[in-house]
Structure 1
Amino acid sequence: MAFESLRQVVRAVIEETNIIRTVEPEEVYKMRTGSMDNKAGTNGQYFTTWDFANGMIRDMSMHTWYHFVELAENENVPLDQLYYIINLFDHPYSNYLRYSGFPRLGSLALALRQHLPSATSRKEAVDAVRAFCAYTNLLSAWCFHYFPWGLGTQEFSYESSIGPSPILPDKSRRIQIRDGRKIKLTWEGLGVTVNALLAVKENPELCDDIINALPFTILQDHAVIGGKSMYGWAPVVSTAPVHVKERQCDAPPGRIRFSQGTGNKFIVQYGEATEDIAMPVLGEVPSDDIDRLGAVGLHVLKSTFETKELIWLKVELA
């Protein structure tokens, strides 16, 4: 595809992002069904192609384009240096993915890199980089949802699931939400709605980013490593300063987190979490509604590992 200006490229990226917000991308569908035009994969199989692409898109969004946004917003980074860094680090991802099932992603990334130096201001450059980051985040969300995580439970389960938690939690470290802005979470199709509070005192700038994006509806998935949490990629690219973090293993059921650095995910913990990585505190579901989260969590767990049912979470002001 040919573009005559950066503005045209950004418009195409935004249009593509809007299309796939609620509809599975054609490239993801072709990947998971083995119907790619380019049948990449040795020995007549495409699982390795799918596995590589899933990991690369995740890394591309989390550890590449999100950091490009941070660099673009940093006025101490000259724009010509920014363009050099983007060319250097994006090409290995987008060029491989172009070959391996994602030609549209590859062509949009190439066009953006080619036209980015024509930006007439830092703001125009920031907006372009932000748009592409949001696009890769959403691609990552769909790739995650449809990846066959159930293979793990079938073939790669521990001999015994009984044993000590890998990390000992410390409840004394739990963050207390002093006050909050009321929001409402509704798992559409499951008939479950709970109230929640945003930690506007603890992380005001982060909460502002979320509030300004409300209402939004996101595809719900389950954590595959860290325990009883469910999440979705939010239509937000937040670089807000974070003042308060909490280790996941210390957090109580009902904790709401926002992970800027792993795709801008809106996370709801409904039980024990095992990771000791500290993440930004976004809010909490009050104790009155926590019991309702368990059934939702189990439903989402089954969707992620087995059925691939589309479960949507609507987040709005109460």
Structure 2
Amino acid sequence: MIDGEFTSLIDVVRSMLQETEAIRDKEPEEIRALRTGTLCNRAGTNSQYFTTWDFVNGMIRDQSMYTWYHFVELAEDNNFSLDNICKVVNLFDHPYSNFLRYTGFPKLGRLAAALRKHLPSASTRQQAVEAVRNFCAYTNLLAAWSFHYFPWNLGEQFRYDNRAQLHVHDTPRDLTRRVQISSGTQIMLTWEPLGISVNAFLATNENPELCDDIIRVLPFRVLQDHAVVSGKSMYAWAPVVSTAPVRVKERQCDAPKGRIRFSQGTGNKLIIQYGEVTEDIETPVLGEIVPEHWDRLDEVGRRVLQSTFDTKELIWVKVEIA
């Protein structure tokens, strides 16, 4: 880097890795400024910043999950030339990164612009893949922090009418489609500062490639949050960007308590189900918490729900080989 300017793709990747590590266990200063109303340019119509916060939360989510993750998939696909990948990145990234630059994320905007500029100079296809993958990982982590601190408790103002429950039918469940896991690599999950641990089997027989991606980055410790739409599920953005082939999926509404899923396409999230959910989409199966530890999930779920919607307490889940 010369006079603050990136001189090569290697230079850009080095900087994005440093930025990613800087926010691994610490709230990004950009998120804090956004949620405390201290943005330097005071972006937000009518002297308020909630609309800016709302837009940013959605943009970061979509940039990481639904844009850069698919750039990784394209970069790994040899049917697409590097030139075509660069064109797609230029076309789809700029609206996200430029808006986020304006609304308090100058580092992200600067890194994205530098990556778009230097990506065509990649010396090998693999160098291009890793550059795109590392930027995806950076945006995933920003999305995790943004999700955690978003004021989800505003939902208290928009509750369903309890009387309507008389006419609501649960999502039809088909327990014959439930995946059974009774063996595999054993892991332990521990929630800090709750002091609660559970053991689980990874689905190393059902989804070996996906499990290999997870095992390679163990142990890890990541921020635990709660689902805000589907029901009794908790999730955490894992420190990996996996594009591994998936052999076995399961509808979330059919899954048992204790199911562990992994959603590659929505931020590479480790998902733990501790009760019923309504969502009927199929998600890759990653493992299952042993039944004798299921009762421990109730307290974890209660505290994580409270954290996500109210207290914003930092609850970390550590995942390691048992």
Please say whether Structure 1 and Structure 2 have the same fold, judged by a TM-score greater than 0.5: yes
Letter matched to residue 282 of structure 1: L
* Counterpart contact for 2:182–2:201, Cα < 8 Å: no
Q: Show the counterpart of 2:258.
A: 254
Aligned mate of 1:180, from 179, 184, 208:
184
Q: Show the counterpart of 1:44.
A: 47
Q: Show the counterpart of 1:100.
A: 103
Q: TM-score, normalised by structure 1?
A: 0.98
| CA deviation after TM superposition for structure 1 residue 103, in Å | 1.2
Q: Show the counterpart of 1:151.
A: 154
Instruction: State whether structure 2 residue 116 is matched by structure 1 residue 113.
Output: yes
1:28–1:82 CA distance, 2 compared to 1 (3 A): same
Q: Show the counterpart of 2:299.
A: 295
Q: Show the counterpart of 1:190.
A: 194
Q: Helix, strand or coil: the match of 1:243?
A: coil
* Counterpart contact for 2:35–2:53, Cα < 8 Å: yes
Q: Show the counterpart of 1:4.
A: 7
The CA distance in 1 between the partners of 2:261 and 2:222, in whole Å, is: 15
Instruction: State whether structure 2 residue 28 is matched by structure 1 residue 25.
Output: yes
Aligned mate of 2:18, from 15, 39, 42:
15
Instruction: State whether structure 2 residue 76 is matched by structure 1 residue 83.
Output: no
The CA distance in 2 between the partners of 1:231 and 1:7, in whole Å, is: 32
Letter matched to residue 159 of structure 1: D
**What pairs up with 1:131-280 in 2 under 5 angstroms?**
131-153=134-156, 155-160=157-162, 162-163=165-166, 164-280=168-284
Segments ≥4 residues shifted beyond 6 Å? none
Identity of aligned residues (%): 67
* Counterpart contact for 1:10–1:131, Cα < 8 Å: yes
| CA deviation after TM superposition for structure 1 residue 130, in Å | 0.5
Letter matched to residue 186 of structure 2: K
| CA deviation after TM superposition for structure 1 residue 59, in Å | 0.3
CA displacement 1:46-77 (0-9 Å, x = unmatched): 00000000000000000100000000001111
| CA deviation after TM superposition for structure 1 residue 166, in Å | 4.1
* Counterpart contact for 2:178–2:250, Cα < 8 Å: yes
- Structure 2 residues not aligned, in runs of 5+: none
The CA distance in 2 between the partners of 1:123 and 1:117, in whole Å, is: 13
Instruction: State whether structure 2 residue 133 is matched by structure 1 residue 130.
Output: yes
| CA deviation after TM superposition for structure 1 residue 114, in Å | 0.6
CA displacement 1:134-155 (0-9 Å, x = unmatched): 00000000000000000002x1
- Structure 1 residues not aligned, in runs of 5+: none
The CA distance in 2 between the partners of 1:197 and 1:61, in whole Å, is: 29
Q: Helix, strand or coil: the match of 1:249?
A: helix
Letter matched to residue 309 of structure 1: E
| CA deviation after TM superposition for structure 1 residue 165, in Å | 4.7
* Counterpart contact for 1:166–1:274, Cα < 8 Å: yes
CA displacement 1:118-169 (0-9 Å, x = unmatched): 100101000100000000000000000000000002x111111745454111
Q: Helix, strand or coil: the match of 1:252?
A: coil
Q: Helix, strand or coil: the match of 1:236?
A: coil
Q: Show the counterpart of 1:283.
A: 287
The CA distance in 2 between the partners of 1:38 and 1:110, in whole Å, is: 20
Letter matched to residue 194 of structure 1: V
The CA distance in 2 between the partners of 1:165 and 1:277, in whole Å, is: 17
The CA distance in 1 between the partners of 2:200 and 2:42, in whole Å, is: 46
The CA distance in 2 between the partners of 1:283 and 1:296, in whole Å, is: 18
| CA deviation after TM superposition for structure 1 residue 303, in Å | 0.2
- Paired residues in the alignment total 317
Query: Over aligned residues, Cα RMSD in angstroms?
Result: 0.9
Letter matched to residue 71 of structure 1: L
CA displacement 1:227-251 (0-9 Å, x = unmatched): 0000100001000000000000000
* Counterpart contact for 1:165–1:274, Cα < 8 Å: no
> Which stretch of the first structure deviates more once superposed, 171-180 or 185-194?
171-180
> Which stretch of the first structure deviates more once superposed, 166-175 or 129-138?
166-175
Letter matched to residue 9 of structure 1: V
* Counterpart contact for 2:252–2:283, Cα < 8 Å: yes
